[in-house]
Amino acid sequence: MTNPPVLDLLAKYDPLIAEHAGLLSTGIRDPFGIVMEKVLSPTEAIIKGRHTILLGTYNYMGMTFDADVIEAGRQALTDFGAGTTGSRVLNGTYQTHAACEEALKDFYGMSHAMVFSTGYQANLGMVSTLAGKGDFIILDADSHASIYDGCKMSNADIVRFRHNDVADLEKRLKRLPPEAGKLVVLEGVYSMLGDVAPLPELVAVAKAHGAMVLVDEAHGMGFFGEHGRGVYEEQGVADDVDFVVGTFSKSVGTVGGFCVSNHPKFEILRLVCRPYTFTASLPPAVIACSTTSIRKLMTAHDKRARLWEATRRLHGGLKARGFRLATDTPESAIVSVLMPDQETTALMWSTLIELGVYVNMSRPPATPAGVFLLRCSICALHSDEQIDIVLAKFEQAAQMAQLALHEHA
Amino acid sequence: MTDRATVYARIIELIEPLNTKKVALTEATSFAGDMEMDSLTVMDLVASMEDEWDIMIPLNLLPDLETIGQVADAVAGLVAKKG
């Protein structure tokens, strides 16, 4: 007996393979294949032998090379070993993990904190565990993939409202049965366009329809609000937000995710949240670095001010040079430059990397509504000189890529 | 009274501006396969249908709604249920 021919399961990706090959055949560098040969600081690396300014790493507060953070990690590596080899609910909770959750509780002024192994898992776990069969999840159309995937994994009914549109959220909430459980999922900062949510209005509408509210502050932690808790703090809605999800891989400078809450039954989630339970916990060194970083971020007022200053310099400089930006004013530490099409975006990106500037290239479906972007994220440690170099390189790249710039009004 | 034929006709009108490949639209035309719509476009289209008939089509139903005919059945059913 001979076996039947094996059907290639990867054949469904042939169109994407062809598209990617087509992009590279124009001679440009692979935007999704960058290798950092050396990382010199939070703002500089060596890429293909070239000294490169990093402007697309979400390393907002520049904590990756902080001396105290590194020392804490070194100590934990020596004291607790390289990894935990276990789940948080079995052998994977060390004193370091408990200390990290204490730091989060202090940072957010909340009574419960749960640390996940990645930010993706934090959203995946919280969204899928909070809403079950018969419940409704109402999410913003521009939500991060981790939120969409959490919806998919839940057994809830999923309702999507137009991005940051309060009236649209209200209209959709009105169609839901009043007796059903509801979770409204929002983000403080949306990472593609760098725009900020009108949380007071959105949260008020959610509460008026009896919904619980989860806010993802991945791109807001560290520099929004008096204590750096995020957009929800800055906009004064802390009392009406039931769950805050965040990540360590942006302002904190490591990797990991978390949820904080004052809900009295919160601790039970450790036993029912599968992306928390069925995976190994973070290595002690990562956790110790995170704890130290979180505690330092509590009082990092100077860095916050510097981050906003550098962001305004970049945003204003690009605008003055005629680039089209996703937000009219700098709303967050993400400055997204609007591009006309895939080819120009790829060429601009490739030219910038050759000129020693790394930004993110973003395209559909990661971006909303068919938008192509060159996305810049600013670090508190970017100097004015670095920002000015970046601005000059952007101008030079636009010329080389024949990107039409607009007269500044 | 909104019958299925009326629903179907209006759905075709809603799809037409998004039919960039200019595919012939029939009951059996599929969104992803024939019209090559990406998931975001499909979700936006669903939102416009929700508003058209003031109904709710949860996103988790979408995997079962591959063709225009299937969507017309689902919408007609939801409209009828609403009364």
Summarize pLDDT for A232-286 with one digit per residue, the tens.
999 999 999 999 999 999 999 999 999 999 999 999 999 999 999 999 999 999 9
> A201 to each of A127, A183, A246, how far by Cα in Å?
22, 16, 22
Question: Per-residue confidence of chain B (83 residues) as pLDDT tens digits?
Answer: 568 999 999 999 999 998 888 999 999 999 988 998 888 889 989 999 999 999 999 999 998 899 999 999 999 999 998 87
What mean pLDDT do residues A351-372 have?
Answer: 90
B55 to chain A nearest CA, in Å?
A: 7
The shortest CB-CB distance from A159 to any of B38, B44, B56 is to: B56
Tokens coding B69:
């005919």
- How far is residue A58's CA from residue A250's CA, in Å, rounded to a whole number? 5
- Residues A192-225 pLDDT 10s: 999 999 999 999 999 999 999 999 999 999 999 9
Alpha-carbon dihedral of residues B73, B76, B77, B83, nearest 10 degrees? -170
Instruction: Give the residue among A401, A404, A356 at the shortest CA–CA distance from A27.
Output: A401
Task: Please give the tally of structural domains in chain B.
Answer: 1
- pTM of the shown model: 0.94
Domains and CATH numbers, chain A: 34-61+301-400 (3.90.1150.10), 67-297 (3.40.640.10)
Q: What is the pLDDT of residue A312?
A: 98
**Cβ proximity of A170 and A207 under 8 Å:** no
**Cβ proximity of A260 and A105 under 8 Å:** yes
Identify which has the larger pLDDT, A31 or A166. A166
* Residues in Cβ contact with A163 at an 8 Å cutoff, skipping those fewer than 6 apart: A140, A141, A142, A190, A368
Question: H/E/C letters for each residue in chain B?
Answer: CCCHHHHHHHHHHHHHHHCCCCCCCCCCCECCCCCCCCHHHHHHHHHHHHHHHCCCCCHHHHHHCCEHHHHHHHHHHHHHHHC
Residues of chain B contacting A152 with CB distance shorter than 8 Å? 60
Instruction: Tell if the CB–CB gap between B50 and A152 is shorter than 8 Å.
Output: no
- How far is residue A309's CA from residue A78's CA, in Å, rounded to a whole number? 39
Residues in chain B: 83
A175 to chain B nearest CA, in Å?
A: 7
Between CA A113 and CA A118, with CA A114 as vertex, the angle to 5 degrees is 130
Name the E strands within A126-189.
136-140, 157-161, 182-187
Q: Tally A–B CB contacts below 8 A.
A: 37
Helix axes A284-297, A67-80, angle to 10 degrees: 150
- How far is residue A62's CA from residue A263's CA, in Å, rounded to a whole number? 32
Q: What is the pLDDT of residue A408?
A: 57
Q: What is the pLDDT of residue A373?
A: 95
* Residues in Cβ contact with A379 at an 8 Å cutoff, skipping those fewer than 6 apart: A42, A43, A54, A57, A59, A60, A61, A62, A307, A310
- How far is residue A277's CA from residue A191's CA, in Å, rounded to a whole number? 28
Identify which has the larger pLDDT, A184 or A2. A184
Query: Hey, how many other C-beta atoms are within 10 angstroms of the C-beta on A267?
Result: 12
Helix/strand/coil for A368: coil
The identity of residue A252, as a single letter, is V
- The kind and range of the H/E element at A247 are strand A243-247
Instruction: Tell if the CB–CB gap between A175 and B54 is shorter than 8 Å.
Output: yes
CATH assignment of the domain containing B12: 1.10.1200.10
- How far is residue A114's CA from residue A104's CA, in Å, rounded to a whole number? 9
- Rounded to two decimals, the ipTM of the complex is 0.88
For residue B19, give its domain range. Answer: 4-82
- Residues A130-140 pLDDT 10s: 999 999 999 99
Within A175-324, where are the H helices? 199-208, 231-234, 269-272, 274-277, 284-297, 301-320
Spell out which chain A residues touch chain B, with contact meaning CB-CB distance below 8 angstroms: 136, 141, 151-152, 156-160, 162, 171-172, 175-176, 364-365, 368-370
- How far is residue A141's CA from residue A163's CA, in Å, rounded to a whole number? 5
Query: Hey, how many other C-beta atoms are within 10 angstroms of the C-beta on A49?
Result: 8
Identify which has the larger pLDDT, A181 or A365. A181
